[in-house]
Amino acid sequence: MTTTPPTGPQDQSNPYGAPYGAPGQPMQTTQQFAQPGQPSQFGQPAPYGAPAPQEPKKPFYKRVWFIILAVLVVIGIIAAATGGSDDDKDSSDAASSNNNAVSAPDAGEQVDAPAAEAADAEDAGDTGSDDSAGSDDSVPADFQSALRSAKRYSDTMHMSKAGLYEQLTSEYADKFSPEAAQYAVDNVDADWNENALKSAESYSETMHMSKVGIYDQLTSEYGGQFLPEEAQYAVDTMTADWNNNALESARSYQDTMDMSPEGIRDQLTSEYGGQFTQEEADYAIANL
């Protein structure tokens, strides 16, 4: 936009005359204003509504937190390397001292190398024998199982050899084959006389049987199935009060069968009954 002041005779009241121009010439003043959206002499203005320019971000490796973290990591690595080397050195020194202590015997002490080797060989032989006894690859697995079962019956139930075989092969018990059962009773570690003695003591303590009755029970095919010599060993070796056994049997007859004293006496001495001696039966009747 251009503004031109009015021209005309000079105002006589102006003591300074015409400003900036020649005398008597009018002063022209021209001023250019930038239009909206147009560049001005001072530079390119930001368009209306445009966001202000932002300062570019620093790379992460130039930030303070990253630098601090990197320093801490480096310090940790150095500390770990130093500590590990110290530990390795200590362990090496300890191992070296232990080796020296073992390898260096005391002064005046003599090591008998042949004797030590012989002892080691004996220990190895004992270990090998134990392993072979526990498991023999040449023996079938069911034979070994039958042997273990036979050993258990012998130790806990004090059974005879024939009783063990019958138990192992019974369809109501272990159901082993005859071959496995025979292998077991032939190889089981058992003292048949001792088993007969334990069984005899059990009969005496729980059933209050007579000496003859215990022998018959031990040798019966429906009882212990011990051999006659094993049963005789048992009744001759055991400690029992036969008079007391007769008395306890007499009391049982009296309580359960309501028998008379003479009937009890006959039952005690009968070969189909208690098989006590006459003296033992008389003691029982006298002490009822």
Domain ranges of the chain: 141-187, 192-286
- Give residue 104's pLDDT: 45
- Containing 3, the helix (H) or strand (E) segment is strand 2-3
Cβ neighbors of 167 (< 8 A, separation 6 or more) are 153, 159, 173, 174
In the block, residue with structure tokens 């008079």:
243
Only one residue has tokens 């059933």, namely 207
User: Which tokens go with 52?
Assistant: 């202000």
pLDDT attached to residue 29: 47
Q: How far apart are CA 221 and CA 162, in angstroms?
A: 9
pLDDT at residue 116, as a whole number:
47
Q: Top-level CATH class of 141-187?
A: mainly alpha
**269 and 281 in contact (C-beta within 8 Å)?**
yes
Task: Give yes or no on whether 141-187 and 192-286 have one common fold.
Answer: yes
- The token pair at 63 is 């930030």
* pLDDT at residue number 137: 79
Q: How far apart are the first and last CA of the chain?
A: 156
Tell me the CATH number for domain 192-286: 1.10.10.10
Predicted confidence pLDDT, tens digits, the chain (288 residues): 455 555 555 545 555 454 544 455 555 544 454 455 555 444 455 454 545 555 556 565 566 666 777 777 767 777 766 665 555 555 555 555 555 544 444 444 444 444 445 445 455 444 444 444 456 779 999 999 999 999 999 999 999 999 999 999 999 999 999 999 999 999 999 999 999 999 999 999 999 999 999 999 999 999 999 999 999 999 999 999 999 999 999 999 999 998 999 999 999 999 999 999 999 999 999 999
Cα–Cα nearest to 242, from 215, 279, 267, 216: 279
The pTM score is 0.54
Question: Residues in the chain, how many?
Answer: 288
Which H or E element spans position 26? none
